[in-house]
Structure 1
């Protein structure tokens, strides 16, 4: 039997996790001397509220599960003879997949680790489709890995941030190619690619996002998409507007709107959003 493992940055409802037997290992968040497990002790909304309401507190520090945490997690799942397929967030933003890979080498059972090169609902979509294959009876890990690679190649993720403060504090700003960070009221939109966050547009004010979205909607309206998701922090006003317009273009697709994880919220800051999609 194959068991699917992912990390807490994969946005999936608890119902989907339970229905498709998806096992989630949490990342860690430290705020001063307080420690939290992402998705267990803290979520994205409470994390953003904490940052906004306590500006003098130490900035949250995020970290991947330790190798030991992964080994224990894997051993508990393989003690019945099961095999594990462990699918994780991009190594561009976290060392999670590297810790998983090292743990897989010393765990008792057979563990295959995959770098999804994505995060959030894109990662969740990839994990869910892999779990559906297992539930449908697929018992060859290599075939599932091949399907994952195909989904990765057909997926896109765009991240819009209304402030650069958290990206700077979290050390992610240096990984964004082409960013000029000294403008006031700078709104930026990145595309998450395999090796870097690529700046797509930057400008002053919300029109930066509305203009980009209109262009992107025009670009994808004739594409055959299997998945679209929207995640956000802070206000849901703009994300709901995008959801409504996307739904009009893709009436047969469910387009989930979800508050992102505490890990992602830490780095994007308040009133950020992401649009994710995958072609068939």
Structure 2
């Protein structure tokens, strides 16, 4: 049997994890003086409500090693293969923690995949891996088959306010103040190296929407995979983006909510797309 493990940054819904038989290892989030297990004791809307009500930037820490170790030891006892598809190693020590637990379990058929991605980008990888398993591939073959896919994931998210980029140290307070006055809307991406970066800065929301659709035109989506629209907290901006996609004849599969990993940087009102390029 091949088992799949994700951390909570993949932003799967609880019912989806159950339906697809995916095992979850939650990240820890420290926010407003409390520590939560992402996706377990902290729901997404609750996260954004707390985030907007205080000034500190949330701190995300890697899962407890015990969470990985209990899964690995159970797999060893049952003779199962395990494929862990985890948050980019440039954003978290989760992969490192999983490797450490693999060594502690002393069990070779555990595969640690650095997604070099985040949020729904990880979901795309996991869903493809499940498809490959269902086609009869071995765990080793599945992991090899994910390498090309990882390099083709594209994430573009428009930011409605600079406040949260400022809190996270990605823009200075002075730059944020000037940017808000000028109605600057940055576009955030996750690079192919797995880091969060600014892909562009747009003057106003309409130009930000156009920037995203232009990026999609430059790097068209692979029709064999779903294109998702995304939102954080509040869906009006994403509805406008979807309207532009529809007018351009670009199909999208579904609208999905992004959780704390990327949401902490972009804040409420963010909008964007996540897909696999041709």
Partner SS, residue 16 of structure 2: helix
Residue 217 of structure 1, CA deviation: 4.5
The 2-side partners of 1:63 and 1:74 are apart by 20
Match of 1:30 in 2: 30
Residue 182 of structure 1, CA deviation: 6.0
CA contact (8 A) 1:160 1:209 kept: yes
Match of 2:190 in 1: 192
Residue 220 of structure 1, CA deviation: 5.0
Q: Aligned runs of 1:130-279 on 2, under 5 Å?
A: 130-138=129-137, 140-171=138-169, 173=170, 183-185=178-180, 186-195=184-193, 196-220=195-219, 224=223, 226-247=225-246, 249-251=249-251, 255-279=253-277
The 1-side partners of 2:104 and 2:6 are apart by 18
Match of 1:112 in 2: 111
Partner SS, residue 245 of structure 2: helix
CA contact (8 A) 1:231 1:258 kept: yes
- Measured at CA, do residues 131 and 243 of structure 1 come closer, stay the same or move farther in structure 2, by a change above 3 Å? same
- Measured at CA, do residues 112 and 221 of structure 1 come closer, stay the same or move farther in structure 2, by a change above 3 Å? closer
The 1-side partners of 2:221 and 2:33 are apart by 51
The 2-side partners of 1:55 and 1:156 are apart by 31
- Measured at CA, do residues 78 and 250 of structure 1 come closer, stay the same or move farther in structure 2, by a change above 3 Å? farther
TM-score (norm 1): 0.85
CA contact (8 A) 1:44 1:263 kept: no
Residue 277 of structure 1, CA deviation: 0.9
- Structure 1 spans left out of the alignment, 5+ residues: 175-179
Partner SS, residue 18 of structure 1: helix
RMSD of aligned C-alpha atoms?
Answer: 2.5
CA contact (8 A) 2:158 2:209 kept: no
Partner SS, residue 3 of structure 1: strand
Deviates more, 1:236-245 or 1:82-91: 236-245
CA contact (8 A) 1:65 1:96 kept: yes
- Measured at CA, do residues 212 and 77 of structure 1 come closer, stay the same or move farther in structure 2, by a change above 3 Å? same
- Measured at CA, do residues 223 and 81 of structure 1 come closer, stay the same or move farther in structure 2, by a change above 3 Å? closer
- Measured at CA, do residues 216 and 225 of structure 1 come closer, stay the same or move farther in structure 2, by a change above 3 Å? farther
- Structure 2 spans left out of the alignment, 5+ residues: none
1:169-201 superposed Cα distances (whole Å, 9 cap, x missing partner): 334x28xxxxx6563313211331133434322
Partner SS, residue 35 of structure 1: strand
TM-score (norm 2): 0.85
Partner SS, residue 263 of structure 1: helix
